[in-house]
Chains A and B, each alone.
Chain A
Amino acid sequence: MKITAEEKMMYEVMKAIYDSGIPISFKGSMVLKACLMEAGYSEDTRHTVDIDANWNSDNSLSSEQMIESLQSALNKNGPDLDVSIYRMYGEGRSAGFELTEKDTGEILFTMDIDVNRPTAPTKIYEVEGLRFRGISPLQMIAEKFRQYLLIRYSAE
């Protein structure tokens, strides 16, 4: 399994956020890919161009605080991208961020962040030297199982 230039940039964003100390752990397809790569899985995976994460803080966060923290993380250690928010988090709803290329104004990818949800076990992943914190493989399976149950029982 290889990573594309776009995925590498996404992992660079995740590394920059991890290095900055923001209490974010990643999840979703980017972590699944890292997990499969570590396990030596060779088939390519399919996913949308977004980064999913949990942000666990002791306090509630304002949109300005979140943007400032993320932008500062990217400015220090990450790719040259602008961060903006288009959906504030709410009851049961994640916050939505857009990461835009500074020169062209093109939105390259989005980040969906759940804020102050119950904490999940995490571990450190590494892809081509880029380290970040992501939810544990067991937790990924647990979340998929939870989604399956939700779909199954909401349909009945």
Chain B
Amino acid sequence: MNIREMRTQLGDTQSEFAMRYGIPFRTIQNWETGVRKPPEYIKSLLEVRTQTDLINRKTAAFPKYNAKKSNLPKRSDYVGAIAWLKAVRDCIGEPIVFALDEALMCQGNFEGRNDEYIVWVYGDDTVSRFNGVAVLGNQISSYSVKEKNGLRFTDFNRTIADAIANESILDMQGITEAISRYYYRNKESYEGISVAPEDQRRFETLAKEAIEYYEN
């Protein structure tokens, strides 16, 4: 994998990538344009690091309603989240990977709300021409993507990592319900879930809340 591929996987601009790893911006430019070649050991180290950091993609911002933008199909017009997400996918008409709450719906871990408005995706920034679409990143590793019912979505581990990374702007109810569902479906076990070391402490709190979620 070359430097440009590593950077675009993260959804970073050259300056974001430079800042992320403390590498001079000019060096990144030179590496990508072929003016200079990065030493092999640097490439190997960066590759390991970018794969780890793929769970720390740029934090998305809530999209604001804009009357000039197109609107997506409304959740309330469909029976079942999958029918709605298929309509959203067809309306967008470009390759997208559903993320966060929409990924949880594809996984069968959460059914959402009757007035879902924000649609979280990985995809090209051009999909932001639709009201309600929030782009988490432009590219995502195929290892983190599942496909079912003709819909592409982040797997459960990646969805948890995305939720933790974006917690400051998210309603965590969906992810908490989904983690709870996972726990009880798996005979009261979290086996199979893996999170990055930096997310471990936060996940443990979420996991505890998920067990207590249906207690009153």
Contact = CB atoms under 8 A, between A and B. Distances in A.
A6 B80 contact: yes
Interface string B76-111: 111111100000000000000000000000001001
Nearest to A2: B76
Contacts of B76: 4, 6
A110 B214 contact: no
A46 B79 contact: no
B73 interface: no
B114 A4 contact: yes
A101 B215 CA distance: 27
Interface string A1-22: 0001111010000000000000
A150 to B, nearest CB: 8
A106 to B, nearest CB: 5
A96 B112 contact: no
A58 to B, nearest CB: 22
A86 B78 contact: no
A6 B173 CA distance: 21
Nearest to A143: B216
B190 interface: no
B78 A96 contact: no
B111 A110 contact: yes
Interface stretch (A47-55, A69-77, A125-133, A134-142): A47-55
B68 interface: no
B113 interface: yes
B215 A92 contact: yes
A5 B214 contact: no
B108 A86 contact: no
B111 A107 contact: yes
Contacts of B180: 87
B214 A93 contact: yes
Contacts of A104: 80, 82, 149
Q: How many interface residues does chain A have, given as a range?
A: 20 to 34
Residue among A46, A50, A107 facing the most chain B CB atoms (10 A cut-off): A107
B211 to A, nearest CB: 9
Interface in B50-93: 76-82
A38 interface: no
A21 B214 CA distance: 26
A136 to B, nearest CB: 19
B79 A50 contact: no
B146 interface: no
Contact of A48 (B80, B112, B215): B112
B185 A46 contact: no
Interface string B119-162: 00000000000000000000000000000010000000000000
B186 to A, nearest CB: 10
A112 B214 contact: yes
Given A46-B114, A109-B111, 19 more contacts: A5-B77, A5-B79, A6-B78, A6-B80, A9-B79, A44-B115, A47-B113, A47-B114, A48-B111, A48-B173, A49-B81, A49-B113, A50-B111, A86-B185, A93-B215, A96-B184, A104-B80, A106-B108, A110-B111
Interface of A: 4-7, 9, 44, 46-50, 86-87, 92-94, 96, 101, 104, 106-110, 112, 114
Interface of B: 76-82, 108, 111-115, 149, 173, 177, 180-181, 184-185, 214-216
